[in-house]
Amino acid sequence: MLFQIESVSLSRGQKPVLDRFSALIEEGATAVVGPSGSGKSSLLRLLNRLADPDSGRILYRGSPIAERDVLALRREVMLVPQLPALVPGTIADNLTYAAKLARHEQIDGDRALTDAGLDPGYADRDTAKLSVGEQQRVMLARALAVEPRVLLLDEPTSALDAEATAKIERALSRLRRRGDLSLVVVTHDPQQAERLTDAAIKIEPSRPAVGLAT
């Protein structure tokens, strides 16, 4: 089992976001679906400890994530945020930056760019001159460069047009077939969940949520 989410509650400010939420996530590709504001992104942030739940616990490959080294966990279970947040410089600079932060000594930049659906010849391009869709794929490449075992993708296509969405989806479909990488994809689009993943967890707002991988 990749993740066991056991009766997790979370609030932000005074507002409850997740209420005794339980779910199982298997290896492979899993979607987290639900309407806006239902707590999908908050759940994703719990999986690599960008936040901790108020109560309940989460197990990763059988051991509680709260007992793992948080930096090692994030380097293994890597989250790609909803909006691109690149550092100024070239695409190659961003891959090198990610490798340095993740203490990953050698990177295969060409492979990371190809896997993210980018031409390796783009490496010297200034990220400020890229479209949002291209920037989002650089975010994906940056995460792939440090070879995580799990990718957490937060609405990877929400800010993109149809063409850019198709390119990201093609890249994610290729990654899904690779076999050595699990994906957890937050999306509000049930069709996208079907296209990209094998199982889905549904989160409903404003009532205790119990999700099971199907």
Partner 1 sequence: MSTIDISPGDVAASLALVAVAVGIAAWRQTDLERDIGIAVVRSFIQLTAIGYVITLIFEQDNLLFVFALIAVMVGFGAFTARARARRVPGAMLPLVIGLSLAAAATLGLVVGLGIFEPKARYLVPVGGMVVGNAMTASAVALNRLGDEFDDSAGRIEATLALGATAREAALPAVRRALRSGTIALIDSTKTTGLIFFPGTMVGMLLAGADPTDAVRLQLILLYVLLGSVAIAALVSTALAYRNFFTPAQQLRELP
Name 68's Cβ contacts closer than 8 Å, sequence gap at least 6.
60
Among 26, 36, 55, 85, binds partner 1 (CB under 8 A): 85
| Helix segments in the chain, DSSP class H | 40-47, 70-76, 91-101, 109-115, 132-145, 162-178, 190-196
Q: In angstroms, what is the minimal distance from the CB of 212 to partner 1?
A: 27
Yes or no: say if 168 and 182 are a contact pair by the CB < 8 Å rule: no
Query: Cβ closer to partner 1: 139 or 213?
Result: 139
Among 40, 49, 137, 176, binds partner 1 (CB under 8 A): 49
Q: In angstroms, what is the minimal distance from the CB of 80 to partner 1?
A: 8
Cα separation, 22 vs 8, in Å, equals 6
Number of residues that bind partner 1 (CB under 8 A): 27
Query: What character string, x for contact with partner 1 (CB under 8 A) and - otherwise, covers 60-79?
Result: ----------xxx-xx--xx
Query: Cβ closer to partner 1: 111 or 210?
Result: 111
Closest CA to 119 of 85, 154, 167, 156: 167
- Residues recorded for the chain: 214
Among 38, 116, 137, 142, binds partner 1 (CB under 8 A): 142
